[in-house]
Structure 1
Amino acid sequence: MSLEPLVSLRGIAKRYATGTLAVRGIDLDIAQGEVLALLGPSGCGKSTLLRMVAGLSEATAGRIDWPSGQPSARDIGFVFQEPTLMPWATALANVALPLELGGMGRREAAERAAAMLARVDLKGFENAYPRALSGGMRMRVSIARALVTRPRLLLMDEPFAALDEITRFRLNNDLLELWEAERFTVVFVTHSVFESVYLARRIAVMAPRPGRIHAELAVEAGYPRGEEFRTSAGYAAHCREVSQALGAAMAGAAA
């Protein structure tokens, strides 16, 4: 993994037209090839920050720099809290859409989309419509669509929060397998201490009202990770450390 920053945020603030100050004073470097978790309670500005990095929302103050070059639309994949699939289109058509919008021919886009569906363990479901898929399978389609353009940066906004624990664990493992194969950069928003420790090399703990970075914690554990790590003393120790940091962030916000 490179320690060179892919994205640098300096003094980022966001105030909405209603007057609400969502985040302020955000200084954060996102390294090339890392898995970074943004951890915090609902309403602390995690999603707002992610949308600004994606270029879907503008900062009120501060700057977002890309040291290795300004990204194109194909360089950033975004997985939302809900799969946001087109209900009238098959899984294959949903995944192929960003390629076709980028000018790729329909046949080549379909081949790339089919290969990516296979990568997320959905081979054989290319012609299935979203209504026929489980929640976990719909999220896999959403992940495949975000990765089909081979982005440098994958932004994930609490994508597994609504899933059952077994499905969530499996998708955590699948995400890490995809990351290990491709080594794209991941910024993963979550309000789960356990999920953040399992996935990330580094965790940025956010405090609310307005959102700001309270602490940055490293997870000193290598990859690949699996059940052996999830049940280890080291994992439990990291979870306690992160939980304490989150508690301190919440206490400071309430003071």
Structure 2
Amino acid sequence: MKMKKSILLWAMIGVTLLLTSCLDEGSRNYDETSVVYMSTDITTGRVYGRTLTSKIITSANMQLMLPGTFQFLRYSWTEEYGTTPITLGTTSTVVIQADNVAIVGEPMEIGRVSLRMNQTPPQTETPDKFVAIDSPVYAEDKIYLGDHWLFQYAYEAKKGEDADVNFYYEGNEGALGNEATIIIDLTITGEPEAGSSTTAKTDIVALNMSQLRSLYESSGTTDTKELKVTFKYYRKGGDQLVSLGTYTMKINQD
């Protein structure tokens, strides 16, 4: 599975997120921390996970997790744990051996949001601003992560406050048919505790890109289109939208 990866905000955040694999030389044993997309084997009903390190894993604990969610997990595997056969996809007959992993600590569910197609970001003279946003992590295959893109972001808030992050599709009037722009909007919510100081915080959000894919799937005449998606946001220290970058979504057309 070809995965788009990025260098995360390690120095700023001060914690290890997403990819921390420990492999013994000459062994397939591992101990990892990763965001994991939960799915279901339709032939058995067994819940399994697809990791950002391209592993297929399962465990007894995962059977209580909701398919379609993203879980931040630490897990380990050794040959003694064995594997379980998993049928991939809804129509596929491909069977793969999922590693029977041991989950360490408490899972943390990652928030998910849908792309807002027919709305505009809230208009304000002083928009809340991100400290930084990392480049998205996503799979070229829409199935592997359920057509979600993962964004890690940093912001500043006081105790009692939280971040509400949304994504707005902005139609590119007059642009080429293979270009799209998405605005990432931050709203600080909650009531700050009296006397609390402002601190930097970080989080991850999973953006469902399926609506954007559907919009462009029926356009054009080629079998595959490379849609160029540009993300913009307000960053601390500036008053204008800045570009996070432009990323490619491959769209198969009828």
| TM range, smaller chain | under 0.3
The alignment's TM-score, normalised by the length of structure 1, stands at 0.27
Which has the higher relative contact order, 1 or 2, with Cα contacts under 8 A spaced 6 or more apart? Answer: 1
Please say which structure displays the higher CA radius of gyration: 2
Structure with bigger helix share is 1
The alignment's TM-score, normalised by the length of structure 2, stands at 0.27
